[in-house]
Amino acid sequence: MLKEEVLRALEERPGERVTGGDLARRLNVSRTAVWKAVNALKREGISISSARNSGYRFEGHNNVLADRGIRKALRTRLLGNRIELLKTVDSTSSYLKKLDPATLQEGFVVVADGQTAGRGRRGRPFRSPGGEGVYMSVLLKPDLPLADIRFLTIGAALAVCSAVEKTCGVSPQVKWVNDIYCRGRKLCGILTEGSVSAELQTMNHVVVGIGINTGILDREVGDLAISLRELTDAGDIRNLLIAEVLNAMEIVYTALTADGRRQELLEAYREKLFVIGQEVEVAAPGENYPAVAVGLDETGGLMVRDGSGRIRHLCSEEISVRVSGRPGGSAFHL
Ligand code: BTN
């Protein structure tokens, strides 16, 4: 497409002005066609300055998700072998699941600039305003027993932590099992959904959905959420962040599926957990109870000590961290 070629030609000469005539000659099109292509790029949010008679200058990608921007930093063989970029979608995970994953190659990734019906765990909505976050879903077809599905969430959490560290220089922490926090506020949520073979007790496919706040947060989230914007002045790093999440996820995934290095993964995950030793409120089907998080078992389940001193192993329950000093010792999601 001409606009892609114009962009490439401008990117090749950073900081320099290139005249419309030069571009037209090089690309063998008219100056009007160049002008139209530049306007289309500007409408997509790519910053190109133009000055009468002296031409166009590429000023940078302005918060635009771009396949090329992602691929520049992608070092994977499997994850991201195909990436579909969408402007808006209800939910990247719902979209991927509707595409019929059985027919798709493992590693297929859907990324959206914004979601209109982003989903979190337990049917909760996940706020996904356009341009203000990374919303991505990755299709996996792991050759693992069903019981291991939690390791995929654990691996994705480690991958997000590593990608955030790499791109922003900050070290996030994890609230078991799927939430990433910085400075006590939620930065990212992960939703792992699978289609299983009941007969074989294996996974047919798994969709790992990742939502990371990168831009301006809605006021309603108050001080419960945080965005990378507050943590780094690196500007818009969404393309790079997506690539680094996939890079890290592939390493973790390979370790899990091929090398069977799950003890190492668990150890790395345990180090990232900030809830160990904390008072938590456990939300289990039919009961809520206070407990203290005491460790992680070999399946990635959180171990808590309840009020009667009994150690319980959590699977799909949710925890919230109890904040001491709050009236009534109330619990809330950090
Ligand atoms: C949670 O916080 O409970 C999990 C949130 C997961 C959000 C991501 S954004 C990309 C993908 N699409 C969705 O609808 N949800 C996940």
Residue 236 has pLDDT above 80, yes or no: no
CA–centroid distance, 211 to ligand 1, in Å, is 5
Task: Out of 82-86, 216-220, 316-320, pick the least confident.
Answer: 216-220
Contact residues of ligand 1, CB 6 A cut-off: 91-93, 115, 118-121, 124, 126, 135-137, 189-191, 209-211
Q: What is the pLDDT of residues 238-264, one digit of tens each?
A: 999 999 999 999 999 999 988 778 899
Mean pLDDT of the region 170-179: 95
- Minimum-distance ligand 1 atom for the alpha carbon of 136: 10
Q: What is the pLDDT of residues 66-97, one digit of tens each?
A: 888 899 899 999 999 999 999 999 999 999 99
CA–centroid distance, 298 to ligand 1, in Å, is 26
State residue 166's pLDDT score.
Answer: 94
- Minimum-distance ligand 1 atom for the alpha carbon of 112: 10
The CA distance from 233 to 187, in Å, is 16
Burial 294-328 (b: 16+ CB within 10 A, else e): eebeeebbbbbeeeeeeebebeebbbbbbeeeeee
State residue 189's pLDDT score.
Answer: 97
CA–centroid distance, 120 to ligand 1, in Å, is 5
CA–centroid distance, 94 to ligand 1, in Å, is 10
Binned at pLDDT 50, 70 and 90, residue 231 comes out as: confident
Residue 329 has pLDDT above 90, yes or no: no
State residue 327's pLDDT score.
Answer: 31
Binned at pLDDT 50, 70 and 90, residue 28 comes out as: very high
The CA distance from 200 to 191, in Å, is 23
- Our mutation pick for probing the ligand 1 site, out of 128, 191, 224, counting the most ligand atoms within 8 A of Cβ, is 191
State residue 97's pLDDT score.
Answer: 96
Q: Which two tokens stand for residue 21?
A: 């005539």
- Minimum-distance ligand 1 atom for the alpha carbon of 93: 12
CA–centroid distance, 63 to ligand 1, in Å, is 21
3-state SS record for 187-233 = EEEEEEEEEEECCCCEEEEEEEEEEEECCCCCHHHCCCECCHHHHCC
State residue 221's pLDDT score.
Answer: 82
State residue 62's pLDDT score.
Answer: 60
Residue 287 has pLDDT above 80, yes or no: yes
- Our mutation pick for probing the ligand 1 site, out of 111, 210, 212, 246, counting the most ligand atoms within 8 A of Cβ, is 210
The pLDDT mean for the chain works out to: 90
State residue 110's pLDDT score.
Answer: 98
Binned at pLDDT 50, 70 and 90, residue 58 comes out as: confident
Asked if residues 55 and 24 have their Cβ atoms less than 8 Å apart, the reply is no
State residue 226's pLDDT score.
Answer: 95
Q: What is the pLDDT of residues 125-168, one digit of tens each?
A: 999 999 999 999 999 999 988 888 899 999 999 999 999 999 99
Percent of the chain with pLDDT over 70: 95
Residue 293 has pLDDT above 60, yes or no: yes
- Our mutation pick for probing the ligand 1 site, out of 85, 88, 93, counting the most ligand atoms within 8 A of Cβ, is 93
Supply the residue whose CA is at minimum distance from atom 9 of ligand 1: 211
State residue 330's pLDDT score.
Answer: 32
293, burial (CB in 10 Å: exposed 0-12, middle 13-18, buried 19+): buried
Binned at pLDDT 50, 70 and 90, residue 326 comes out as: very low
- Minimum-distance ligand 1 atom for the alpha carbon of 94: 14
In Å, how far are 37, 157, 297, 319 from 301, measured between CA atoms? 53, 14, 5, 12
- Minimum-distance ligand 1 atom for the alpha carbon of 91: 14
CA–centroid distance, 26 to ligand 1, in Å, is 44
Residue 234 has pLDDT above 90, yes or no: no
In Å, how far are 2, 7, 281, 323 from 48, measured between CA atoms? 15, 9, 52, 49
- Minimum-distance ligand 1 atom for the alpha carbon of 186: 2
Residue 193 has pLDDT above 80, yes or no: yes
